[in-house]
Structure 1
Amino acid sequence: MRRKIWISLCLLVTTVICVFIISNSSIAQADSSGAPGLADDPIVTKSYVDAKVAALVKAELDKLGPIGGGGGSAELAVVTVPFGKKIIVGAGGELIVRNGKAIAYSPDANGLSDMTDGVDIAPGKPITTNHLILFPRADRGVQANPNQKNGLIVLVRGSYAIQ
């Protein structure tokens, strides 16, 4: 009888040791496979991911520099151009004349693109109010028509300078 108890006890201890070894090896495999919820692959909430993505986007936008007058901007800026001055818009910029009579300015024979009518505006030619004007190259702009006494009010998207 003692022999049966001894054999049963040995089998039980052997079984427990085998189960322990097998369970430890499966946990080790789970750790190395990056199962969700472990240190290598934690489970995260949507709000955590949204916060991290927002922080990364803000950091990238901060690298682009300030947005506003004189700098590149995705927003339209309302700009008053005094009589006798001209507004020079950067390459790829856009402008809409809101108030006043404007004429195109360019240091060479090339003009501006009127996106509303789909025509090229030569230097010195009038710009129609409320038309979207595209500046394909830098150093081009608009100025108030010399036949009037007031300046201009324009909307500008992109970099610009008053000269």
Structure 2
Amino acid sequence: MAPSMTHRLRSIASTSDEAIHRLQARRAAARHVHDFTEMLHHLRGDQLPDWMERGLADDLPALHSLVSGLRRDFDAVTAGLSTPWSSGQVEGHVTRVKLIKRMAYGRANLELLRQRVLLDPYPGGLTRSLVEPKYLTAHRPRPGPGCTGQSLGGPSADSGRTPPCGRQTSGDPPDA
């Protein structure tokens, strides 16, 4: 066989070996991800130490890094994998408030931020003012049981002053 042909066959064989090694590494990583997902979905935090040992046994540097990070906060990770409680909703609201704050940076004061956060007509989602520019003004609350039938800001018929929406003044009848 010609030397160039031998070199070419060796190159193909080494490339094939590298491809096989990469494929095996991907399969091992996929297996570890699947096992971790099963622990997460079925609340089996007690299986975490075994999973970590299996991850260290494979030649996957990224997985080794993950395992070392999990070891630093092992108790918290085990609790997160074992309990049904989640802070996802709270974190979603924190993210929403931060987004509103960033969008108003340098242009609004704390009172406007407070109104936009507390009077959001779309609880749990983006405010309409973030979605549609024509709603950039502060949202006004609708009259509640303590308000008169007049528009917001109008005086109360009983006391001559404007009651805060949803609150009673001395002359207003109690809520049913």
TM-score, with length taken from structure 2 = 0.28
Which entry has the higher C-alpha Rg, 1 or 2?
1
Q: Which structure's residues are more often helix, by fraction?
A: 2
Higher strand share: 1
Q: Scaled by the length of structure 1, what TM-score is found?
A: 0.30
